[in-house]
Amino acid sequence: MPSGPAAPPAETAAPRDVVHAVRAYAAEEPDRPAVKDAGTSLSYAQLLARVETSAGYLVRAGVTPGDRVGIHLPNSAEYIVAILACMTVGAVFVPIPYGDPEERIRGIAGDCDVTLTVVPTGHAVSEAARRELRPVGVGELAHTEDVENAGGVENTEDVENAEGYGDDRDGEDIVYLVYTSGTTGRPKGVMVRRAGLRNFVANTVEIFELTRETKALCVSPFHFDGAFGSIFSVLSVGGSLVVAGHGPLLPGDFFRLLLSEGITHTSFSPSLLRLLTSGRDLPRLAESRLRTVGLGGEDCTPQQIAKLLEHRPGLRVFNRYGPTETTVVVATHLITREWCASGRKIPLGAPDRGVGFHLVDAEGNLVTEPDTPGELCVSGVQVMAGYWGAPEVTRQVLRDDLVPGTTVYRTGDLVRRTPDGLYVYLDRADNVVKRNGNRISMTEVTAALLDVPGVEDAVALVDRPDGRTLIRAFVVAPGLDAAPVRKELLLRVPAYMSPNSLHVVAELPRLSGGKPDARRLRALL
* CATH code at position 500: 3.30.300.30
> CATH no. for residue 76?
3.40.50.980
Does residue 489 sit in the same domain as residue 450? yes
Comparing 272 with 290, the larger pLDDT belongs to: 290
Lowest-confidence segment of 265-279, 429-443, 499-513 by average pLDDT: 429-443
Q: What is the 3-state secondary structure (H, E, C) of 91-111?
A: CEEEECCCCCCHHHHHHHHHH
Does residue 62 sit in the same domain as residue 160? yes
Q: For residue range 1-29, what is the model confidence (pLDDT) as tens digits?
A: 344 444 444 444 444 689 999 999 999 99
Structural domain including 385 reads: 357-428
Q: Does residue 505 belong to any structural domain of this protein?
A: yes
Q: Does residue 380 belong to any structural domain of this protein?
A: yes
Q: In angstroms, what CA-CA distances link 446 with 184, 190, 207, 440, 503?
A: 10, 21, 40, 11, 13
Q: Does residue 56 belong to any structural domain of this protein?
A: yes
Q: For residue range 470-505, what is the model confidence (pLDDT) as tens digits?
A: 999 999 999 999 999 999 999 999 999 999 999 999
Q: For residue range 372-385, what is the model confidence (pLDDT) as tens digits?
A: 999 999 999 999 99
Does residue 439 sit in the same domain as residue 373? no
Does residue 418 sit in the same domain as residue 492? no
Mean pLDDT of the chain: 87
Q: Which pLDDT value is given to residue 101?
A: 84
Those residues with Cβ within 8 angstroms of residue 121's Cβ, 6 or more apart along the chain or in another chain = 143, 144, 145, 146
Q: Which pLDDT value is given to residue 428?
A: 79
Does residue 405 sit in the same domain as residue 503? no
> Of the candidates 167, 191, 225, which is a domain's last residue?
167
Q: Does residue 313 belong to any structural domain of this protein?
A: no
Lowest-confidence segment of 169-183, 340-354, 358-372, 414-428 by average pLDDT: 169-183
Does residue 467 sit in the same domain as residue 497? yes
pTM to 2 decimal places: 0.84
Dist. CA 147–CA 160, nearest whole Å: 18
> Of the candidates 402, 428, 454, which is a domain's last residue?
428
Does residue 52 sit in the same domain as residue 103? yes
DSSP structure class, residue 349: B
Q: Does residue 469 belong to any structural domain of this protein?
A: yes
> CATH no. for residue 398?
2.30.38.10
List b or e across 264-275, with b for residues whose CB sees 16 or more CB atoms inside 10 angstroms.
bbbbbbbbbbeb
Does residue 400 sit in the same domain as residue 451? no
Dist. CA 223–CA 202, nearest whole Å: 21
Q: Which pLDDT value is given to residue 174?
A: 96
> Of the candidates 106, 136, 167, which is a domain's last residue?
167
Does residue 399 sit in the same domain as residue 465? no
Does residue 163 sit in the same domain as residue 55? yes
Q: Does residue 316 belong to any structural domain of this protein?
A: no
Q: In angstroms, what CA-CA distances link 350 with 215, 367, 426?
A: 27, 16, 15
Does residue 488 sit in the same domain as residue 379? no
- Taking residues 416-429, report their average pLDDT: 91
Q: Does residue 424 belong to any structural domain of this protein?
A: yes
**What is the count of structural domains for the chain?**
3
Q: Which pLDDT value is given to residue 138?
A: 45
Dist. CA 371–CA 361, nearest whole Å: 13
Does residue 424 sit in the same domain as residue 439? no
Q: Does residue 136 belong to any structural domain of this protein?
A: yes
